[in-house]
Amino acid sequence: MAPYPRPPRLTGGVFILIGLALIVGGAWLLALGGTWYYLAAGVLTLLTGGLAFTGRRAALWLYALTLLGTLMWSVAEVGLDIWQLEVRLVMPLVLAIWLLLVSRKLRVPLTGARAAGPALGLIALAVIVVGAVAAMQPRGIHGSVTLDANAQPDQDTSVPNDDWLFYGRTPKGDRYSPLDQINTGNVKSLKLAWTARTGDTMRPGEDVGGTDAGHEFNFEDTPIKVGDTLYVCTGHSWVVAFDAATGQKKWSFDPKADTSADVYLACRGVAYYKAPEGTQTDCPERIIAPVLDARIMALNAKTGQLCQDFGDHGFVSMKEYLGHVPAGFHFITSPPLVVKDRVILGGWIFDNQATFEPSGAVRAFDPLDGKLVWAWDVGHDPQNWTPGPHDTLTRGTPNAWGVYTADVDRGMVYLPEGNATPDYFGGHRRPFDEKYSSSTVALDIETGAPRWVFQNVHHDLWDFDVPTGPSLVDLPDPKGGTIPALVQTTKRGELFLLNRETGQPVANVEEKPVPQGAVPGDHTSPTQPFSTGMPSLAPKDLTEAAMWGATPIDQMVCRIQFRRAYYKGQFTPPQLKNTIVYPAFDGVIDWHGASIDPTHKILIANANYIPFMISLAPREPYVKNGDVQPWSGDGNEPKVGGGLSPQYGTPYVGKVHPWLNPLGVPCNPPPWGTLTAIDLTTRKIVWQHPIGTTRDTGPFGTHTNLPFPTGIFNIGGNMVTKGGLVFIGATADDYLRAIDERDGTVVWQARLPAGGQANPMSYAINGKQYVVIAAGGHAGLGTRSGDYVMAYALPDGDTAGKDSKP
């Protein structure tokens, strides 16, 4: 009799190791109240490995039973959700195929040995069939809307159609271009027209792959276009002017910003001002731009030279009236709003550092001489005033760091207010902090007098700043009139539809009970506002069954972390242990906001989904071990260790980080990014689809993967055009895409040379429409860094196409 072949001991060893991992983790999970599956699967996999190691054909039967049980459990737990099935079934399927490939080495006899291989093969085939059926299931919300080509335009005509004068094209922030040369009928012919380089790139010591280096370098700019020139600002506060038709650089100005202490290096845009006819100035047209080291500057729009009549030879210090400002504690990333002879802006007060940080007051300056016109200071009576040379604006108040919008005709500017510092403890907050934190606020443009306030989050303990000003739109009312409305996007994913004259809800808002139980010395609001009259983009609450991973093992780790953490759903208050916060401060919708088609009343919003872990801890042990030094605000902040948020002035330090498992894979399931169209008239979702792929997002922080269409993390917004197209970069897979506004279909895409984490824009010059996006990467997403400005247009002679689909 021929000797048996050598048993497949490598195969058996691998099964044994996987089984042991599942047994240890599964027993821990079961002890925490979790599912029994991992322990059972671990025992069966371990036994399969032992049988294979000794060459016994019973391994095939045992693993067939394991795979069948896994298939039944998976479908019972998550149904036919392809991404949830993928993490449960792919690795067991691969192991089954591996075992079949070495089955000829399993020769120790047993009854029914001949049927063992076919049985395992049939179950493996069943897994493949179930996966194929799941992959064919529709994902998202499939619908469509008819865009009436004969509809009466309802756009803001204060900006010429060919230009893009504000961050959102107009002061209303709708990010809508009234150009339709590029449309659904010809967008497939869209080509790269020109590429420009700013020359400002990431420097040594800065970081585009995370935050360990202390400085996040980003290119978040939305260019503005005035006449024949495109104006761009960069991560180090340069302003660069390009020929709008060719991309040729006209001029560049570097303000030599001191960014050594700034943790976030970005500029989202600049502003344009034209002086009234007859004004005596060497700068009749000027670009007013933020500078990261808490200045604003005015440049001659034609030459790039400083306007000497503005402030101190072209600069105004935003540190004036703030008292002592520690290095890096006040910087500006968003463009000022320039309307009605006012330059209106605030700034970013360094998150999570202290109760005694500089004031978050918003100020308005004269665009010609740079003199302060008014300050809005919630801690002062009256709130709108003009401080004198020895006055200090109230410290530690909420700040409005995002882009502002305005209804110029009604004389109102709309501010997106953050919360009073620090973010995760609020026991010290004053009545005016509580009233204005995390709110949308309307001020009088000319005087700064408050008109109304609408609070999006009460007693915010989650860093749910309102990250951008609302988008304005006029909507029909049931009586045939018009409602002057606005839509406020939020980090929570709630969309608040308000009357922009009064701040009262147009769509129903309800106060609902939320989890309670803050740390000692703090409290929680018993209720929070939910926009029940509008669709919500907020994620579902997490469950153990929803946990994800690249393999069953790291998914099991996520389940264990979920069971060990404190979590009661949305608005779970931070605890003295790991607390899951979802949605979290990176937002569902962050600083990019949403776009609105004002003619058809369609809102387009891209959303982002990732949970965070937050924990608080008593301060004293960290003072004793040297991670945190005592500090009362004098001088600059001492060095902080241990990845802590020091929260000086409170009893606690904090830690916050994205919730990723040991492979660097999210613990929440796909989709991680979506694009949604909402009809603002019916207040219903028209369509919703995952946006982006995993092409550049892999385990362990790598940027190589297969392009699975999971929907991916995104930072940066979208714009919508009269041509029926939505353009969006934003996603971590470095594409610019064109989406059919009617049904959400991707109709064109182009690979970018670096991350496109910025809002695209569009303009026309010499009869040709261009679509432009800044492509320079983003530290938070770890996308490729660069300094590119990319412009796309139709080839000459290919501009007449129209789509016959309504």
* Residue 430 CA from chain centroid, whole number: 30
- Amino acid (1-letter code) at residue 136: M
CA distance 571 to 93: 39
The catalytic site residues sit at 463
From residue 247, alpha-carbon distances to 227, 241, 613, 770 in Å are 14, 9, 44, 11
For β-strands 285-291 and 295-300, DSSP reports them as antiparallel
CA distance 751 to 755: 10
What pLDDT was estimated at residue 149? 82
| CB 581, CB 462: distance < 8 Å | yes
What pLDDT was estimated at residue 156? 87
DSSP bridge pairs for 330: 349
Residues of the chain with pLDDT under 70: 1-4, 108-113, 207-214, 799-806
Interval 23-61: pLDDT, tens: 999 999 999 999 999 999 999 999 999 999 999 989 999
What pLDDT was estimated at residue 2? 52
**Sign of the CA dihedral running 681, 682, 684, 688:** negative
pTM of the model: 0.96
Residue 581: HSE in the Cβ half-sphere, 13 Å Cα cutoff: 28
From residue 53, alpha-carbon distances to 13, 38, 42, 112, 546 in Å are 7, 22, 16, 20, 35
DSSP bridge pairs for 653: 617
Interval 397-441: pLDDT, tens: 999 999 999 999 999 999 999 999 999 999 999 999 999 999 999
DSSP string computed for 735-771: EEEEEETTT--EEEEEE-SS---S--EEEEETTEEEE
CA distance 64 to 51: 13
| CB 425, CB 614: distance < 8 Å | no
Query: What is the rounded radius of gyration, in angstroms, for the C-alpha atoms of the chain?
Result: 28
Is residue 293 helix, strand or coil? coil
What pLDDT was estimated at residue 534? 98
CA distance 737 to 627: 45
What pLDDT was estimated at residue 699? 81
